[in-house]
Chains A and B, each alone.
Chain A
Amino acid sequence: MSDGATPRPPGRLDLVLGPAGPELTCEECFERLDVHVEHELAGRDADAAVPGMRAHLEGCPACADDHASLAALLAAG
């Protein structure tokens, strides 16, 4: 997150109802995944760099998994 706060894990109802705001598609998410993760790991404003990414990650468990995996791989060095 851009403000450094840990996002609340989406609950079941969050998943059913989905994100409220505009979100990327799965294809757009994949295209920008690398940029968002690099910004996040560098402490830059990832959500401003890739608008709609955060909302999509809240609504799509598979893309959220992919995002977490890329972040973990890069963090592992």
Chain B
Amino acid sequence: MTAGLTSTTGGGPVPATATDLDDESAAWRRSLAAGAPERDAAMARLHALLLRAARFEVSRRAGALGERAGRELDDLAMQAADDALLAVLRKLDSYRGDSRFTTWAYKFALLEAAVKVRRRSWRDREVPLEDAAWERISDRRASPHDDAHAAELLSAIRRAIEDALTAHQRSVLVAITLNDVPIDVLAERLGTTRGALYKTLHDARRKLRAALAAGGHDVGEAREGASA
């Protein structure tokens, strides 16, 4: 499992075909294969690349971590690179050469680093599941008619969230879409996975749209007209 992402397909790895691999990507896959004589050296080179990617990601997100020391940030990047290397080796058989090997490998480091930073930045914070920040839904329309229309729409959405969703769907929708709780953080707190939570969010949105449509509201117009 990679940083809370789990497969829903259950079909196992797709057999890789090396026919379309560029030379560099083919060399990476060959040298990282179990039993390859140069595997240790290749793993060291790959770890260095993954560490670079992880540091890049941690640096991009450093603001979310406040005044933390550079050493702590680098420790996070190192942990992310370590975990990413294991994930890459575990998933090597599923690499099909649809992208360059390094691009494929980088995403593991970026994901591991991003999840670690998000979780660290929320470590001492309460995760708000209720009391949605409705004021974050603002309206850009100017006329009094549009103001009234937007107010009616927002009221309908609030009602639909209360009435049409289960308690779990409501908590997930409110936390992620209104209170800006990162899905990885919420998954960790609720003891589930990012994929499972997104499925819940997807189902909640579908019910919300259906409730709005049943009330005569144009969901497409809502998306285009009122946004924060």
Binding site for B on A (CB under 8 A): 10-18, 20, 23, 25-27, 30, 32-35, 37-38, 59-62, 65-66, 69-70, 72-74, 76
Do A27 and B8 touch across chains, with their CB atoms under 8 A apart? yes
Interface size on B, as a range, is 35 or more
B136 / chain A contacts, CB cutoff of 8 Å: 12
Main SS of the interface on chain A? helix
In the assembled complex, 24 residue pairs joining A and B whose CB atoms fall closer than 8 Å, in A order, are: A10-B227, A11-B226, A12-B138, A16-B177, A16-B205, A16-B208, A17-B212, A17-B219, A17-B222, A18-B201, A25-B198, A25-B199, A27-B6, A30-B2, A30-B107, A37-B99, A38-B99, A38-B103, A62-B114, A62-B182, A62-B194, A69-B110, A69-B114, A73-B106
CB-based nearest A residue for B185: A62
Task: Indicate if B40 sits at the interface (CB-CB under 8 A).
Answer: no
Do B8 and A17 touch across chains, with their CB atoms under 8 A apart? no
Top 8 nearest A-B pairs (CB, nearest first) are: A11-B227, A12-B228, A18-B205, A34-B99, A15-B177, A34-B103, A16-B177, A34-B104
Do B223 and A69 touch across chains, with their CB atoms under 8 A apart? no
